[in-house]
Structure 1
Amino acid sequence: MPGSPGFIRLDGVSKSHGRGAGRVAIFSNLSLEIPRGDFVAIMGPSGSGKSTLLNILAGLDPVDAGRVAIDGCDLSAMGEDARAAWRTTTLGIIFQFYNLMPMLTAAENVELPLLLRPLSGRERRERVATVLDLVGLGGWARHHPREMSGGQRQRVGIARAIVTDPALLLCDEPTGDLDRRSAGEALDILGRLNRELGKTIVMVTHDPAAARSARHVLHLDKGAFSPAGPEVLS
Structure 2
Amino acid sequence: MTGTPETYIALSAITKGYRIGGEAIPIFSGLDLSIPRGDFVAIMGPSGSGKSTLLNMLAGIDRPDAGTLRIGTSRLDQMGEAARASWRAHHMGIVFQFYNLLPMLTAAQNVELPLLLKPLSARERRIRVERVLDLVGLAGREKQYPAMMSGGQQQRVGIARAIVSDPGLLLCDEPTGDLDRTSADEVLEMLRFLNRQLEKTIVMVTHDPQAASYAKRTLHLDKGDFIEEKRAA
Specify the TM-score bucket, using the shorter chain as the normaliser.
over 0.9
Q: Is 1:127–2:141 an aligned residue pair?
A: no
Task: Assess if the C-alpha contact under 8 Å between 1:169 and 1:201 holds in 2.
Answer: yes
Q: TM-score, normalised by structure 2?
A: 0.96
**2:211 aligned residue:** 210
Q: Equivalents in 1 of 2:149, 2:176: separation in Å?
A: 16
Question: Is contact 1:2–1:38 with CA below 8 Å preserved after alignment?
Answer: no
CA contact (8 A) 2:42 2:218 kept: yes
Q: What is the TM-score with the length of structure 1 in the denominator?
A: 0.95
Runs of 4+ in structure 1 off by over 2 angstroms are 1-5, 226-230
Deviates more, 1:221-230 or 1:69-78: 221-230
More helix per residue: 1
CA distance in structure 1 between the aligned counterparts of 2:3 and 2:10, rounded to whole angstroms: 16
Moved more, 155-164 or 16-25: 16-25
1-structure distance, mates of 2:185, 2:75 = 35
1:68-94 Cα shifts (integer Å, max 9, x gaps)? 000010000011111111011100000
Task: Indicate how the Cα distance of structure 1 residues 73 and 2 shifts in structure 2: closer, same or farther if over 3 A, else same.
Answer: farther
- For the structure 1 residues 68 and 223, does the alpha-carbon distance in structure 2 shift closer, same or farther, using more than 3 Å as the test? same
CA displacement, residues 166-206 of structure 1 (integer Å, 9 cap, x when unaligned): 00000000000000000011000000000000000000000
Offset of residue 229 of structure 1: 5.7
For the Cα contact (< 8 Å) 1:171–1:204, is it kept in 2?
Answer: yes
SS of aligned partner of 1:190: helix
Equivalent residue runs for 1:132-147 within 5 Å: 132-147=133-148
1:45 maps to a residue whose letter is P
% same residue: 64
* Structure with the higher fraction of residues in strand conformation: 2
Q: Match for residue 192 of structure 2? A: 191
Whole-angstrom CA distance in 2 between matches of 1:3 and 1:120: 40
Aligned partners of 1:2 and 1:78: how far apart in 2? 31
Q: Is residue 2:92 matched to residue 1:91?
A: yes
Q: Structure 1 residues 212, 107: CA separation in 2 closer, same or farther (over 3 Å shift)?
A: same
Shift of residue 17 of structure 1? 1.1
Alignment RMSD: 1.7
Task: Provide the secondary structure at the position in 2 that maps to 1:129.
Answer: helix
Q: How does 1:142-157 map to 2 (within 5 A)?
A: 142-157=143-158
| Map of 2:37 onto structure 1 | 36
How many aligned positions are there?
A: 231
1:5 deviates by 3.0
**Paired position in structure 2 for 1:108:** 109
By how many angstroms is 1:227 displaced? 2.6
